[in-house]
Structure 1
Amino acid sequence: MKVLRLFTSGLVLLASQHVFAQQEQSKSSAQELANKLANPVASLISVPFQNNVDWGIGPLEGSKYTLNFQPVIPIKLSKSLNLITRYILPIIDQYNITGQGEHQFGLSDATVSAFFAPANPKNGFIWGVGPALLIPTGTQAALSTKKWGAGPTVLLLKQGKANTVGFLANQIWSYAGDENRSAVNQLFAQPFYTHNWPTGAGVGVNAEMTFDWQHKNTTAFLNPTASGVTKLGKQPIQFAVGPRIPVLGPRESKADFGLRGVLIFVF
């Protein structure tokens, strides 16, 4: 009986160590995945659905819902260089923006970016640089610039075990399109910070700023979020929620308040 008790105790100890090791491995994998998703040029296929709702827009107190479909597809060019392609296709549903009682629903213009980035970053420093394209996919005049545009895009970030801090920007100039529509000349800048725990839970904040040089105005939002990593069946996902705080904007288009919710499928 004593031998049996010792044997049973040994099995329980080994089982508990195995479960603990699995939990630690799971936590490590969750944090690693969260860190990769915090890096816009990570070699990882992801499909984010970013939902933004803004209320109290302009003098008509309009509302606007924007679903940004944002797949990220990496392409390995060599052992030392990757090409990370990012696509942003907005779907918009808005009320009382262009006029009292007016409603628009449909696609807005797409932005496609391609970052050449090192496959093996050193000391946590990561960079990416390449072209950005504006494609007039908008299905209604109020949702589109009706212009083709292009320009450079750049990303710089420093990533540690838990913290990611970085800066993304692109400058786009229009070069073709509807001659009756205003030219596009704008800079988009996004500083960001994220902290992830071993469980995959995280907090972060970014500022999204658009400098419209053509019309001499600036729009800025502050977006703090809380996030987590989990699975739907066998499918790894990340979700994030938080307020969308308008900081700057012209009176005719500035919102009073907003919310953001993000669901990311990882492959």
Structure 2
Amino acid sequence: MKSTISYNTRKIFFGVTFFLVNLAAFAQEEAPKSGASAQELADKLANPVASLISVPLQNNLTYGIGAFNGSKYTINVQPVIPFKLSENLNLITRYILPVVDQRDITGENTHQFGLSDATVTAFFAPKTKGLILGFGPAFLVPTATDKFLGTEKFGVGPSALVMHQGKGLSIGFIANQIWSVAGNEDRADFNQFYTQIFLTHTYKSGASLGITSEITQNWEGNTTLVTLSPNIGAVTKLGDQVVQFAVMPLIPIVGPHDMRPDWGLRAVVAFVFPGS
């Protein structure tokens, strides 16, 4: 029996996506008119270690997963909070807390809903222009509310960012390698490398076009997942609140059949606080 995400979940996701696509039509007219320009904000948001508070809500919907043609809807709550350590050094903290609704992933007619494991990274980022670097620790925190949604492991490892940014153009990668160091001994060890390679071009209106590739290498399970995502986005204002949004397909390139979806879609809404 072919399963689907619940009607209410699909309605919420596609409602968010429709809202974002309609906002794109007005991005040029509604771009922020005070403080930093729309393009400056878009450039800062393309920089993972910019000194800028933002709270992205990343909606991911994937279909056709595994032997039971499963489906998964994930909302990643991803606040980015910077701390000024000195005139020339910032500490940029990034948090990812996934909320997952999945069906027919672990077996036919199965359903899990709840929190997955959180990932926390901290980048020490010198204030530079042009070539931008960031290094620090990454942590896997076992916050999952269901054993099928998490690892039951605590992990730690290094994270790094290398990118070049000029006005209107950002290119680089962000990566981490995490090993489990504690947790449920009956569960498999966690040993995973993740990287996101990105290229973004921004415009005066705050609109942006780009492409990203995400690579996840599970060393313990000897599996590789690669996705490619061309994307379109914009910075605009809803009342007094500065918001960035983006829409992109999730195109599977490499991955084992039991893990790789047939297709996916991502819609992101990021609340931006440029005065911070």
Fold similarity call, TM over 0.5:
yes
Report how many residues are paired: 243
**Which among 98, 104, 120 is matched to residue 112 of structure 2?**
104
Aligned amino acid, residue 107 of structure 1: L
Counterpart-to-counterpart distance in 1, 2:73 and 2:202: 28
Residue equivalent to 2:43: 35
Q: CA contact under 8 A between 2:32 and 2:38: conserved in structure 1?
A: no
Counterpart-to-counterpart distance in 1, 2:76 and 2:214: 14
Residue equivalent to 2:19: none
Task: Select the structure with the greater relative contact order (CA < 8 A; seq sep ≥ 6).
Answer: 2
List gaps (5 residues or longer) in structure 2.
1-30
Q: TM-score, normalised by structure 1?
A: 0.89
Residue equivalent to 2:22: none
Q: CA contact under 8 A between 1:27 and 1:200: conserved in structure 2?
A: no
Residue equivalent to 2:222: 216
Assess, with a 3 A threshold, how the Cα gap between structure 1 residues 107 and 232 changes in structure 2: closer, same or farther.
Answer: same
Q: CA contact under 8 A between 1:28 and 1:199: conserved in structure 2?
A: no
Residue equivalent to 1:10: none
Assess, with a 3 A threshold, how the Cα gap between structure 1 residues 75 and 65 changes in structure 2: closer, same or farther.
Answer: same
Counterpart-to-counterpart distance in 1, 2:244 and 2:107: 37
Q: 2:117 matched to 1:117? A: no
**Which among 248, 251, 254 is matched to residue 254 of structure 2?**
248
Please give the per-residue CA displacement for 1:79-123, whole angstroms capped at 9, x wherever unaligned.
01000000000000000000100000000000000000012x13x
Q: What secondary structure is seen at the aligned counterpart in 2 of 1:191? A: strand
Superposition RMSD on alpha carbons, in Å? 1.4
Counterpart-to-counterpart distance in 2, 1:68 and 1:179: 27
Q: 2:82 matched to 1:78? A: no
Counterpart-to-counterpart distance in 2, 1:59 and 1:126: 43
Counterpart-to-counterpart distance in 2, 1:135 and 1:248: 27
CA positional deviation for 1:220:
1.2
Q: CA contact under 8 A between 1:30 and 1:198: conserved in structure 2?
A: yes
Q: What secondary structure is seen at the aligned counterpart in 1 of 2:41? A: helix
Counterpart-to-counterpart distance in 1, 2:99 and 2:70: 17
Deviates more, 1:214-223 or 1:171-180: 214-223
Residues 192-211 of structure 1 aligned to structure 2 (within 5 Å): 192-211=198-217
Residue equivalent to 1:176: 182
Q: 2:160 matched to 1:154? A: yes
Q: 2:276 matched to 1:266? A: no
Aligned amino acid, residue 218 of structure 2: D
CA positional deviation for 1:205:
1.0
Counterpart-to-counterpart distance in 2, 1:155 and 1:112: 15
Residue equivalent to 1:185: 191
Please give the per-residue CA displacement for 1:187-244, whole angstroms capped at 9, x wherever unaligned.
0011101000000001111111110010101011111110011101000000000111
Counterpart-to-counterpart distance in 1, 2:54 and 2:33: 22
Assess, with a 3 A threshold, how the Cα gap between structure 1 residues 24 and 187 changes in structure 2: closer, same or farther.
Answer: closer
Q: What secondary structure is seen at the aligned counterpart in 2 of 1:141? A: coil
Deviates more, 1:62-71 or 1:242-251: 242-251
Residue equivalent to 1:232: 238
Q: TM-score, normalised by structure 2?
A: 0.86
Q: CA contact under 8 A between 2:32 and 2:242: conserved in structure 1?
A: no
Q: CA contact under 8 A between 1:208 and 1:222: conserved in structure 2?
A: yes
Bigger radius of gyration: 1
Q: What secondary structure is seen at the aligned counterpart in 2 of 1:203? A: strand
Residue equivalent to 2:74: 66
Q: What secondary structure is seen at the aligned counterpart in 1 of 2:68? A: coil
Residue equivalent to 2:8: none
CA positional deviation for 1:24:
11
Assess, with a 3 A threshold, how the Cα gap between structure 1 residues 219 and 35 changes in structure 2: closer, same or farther.
Answer: same
Counterpart-to-counterpart distance in 2, 1:137 and 1:24: 37
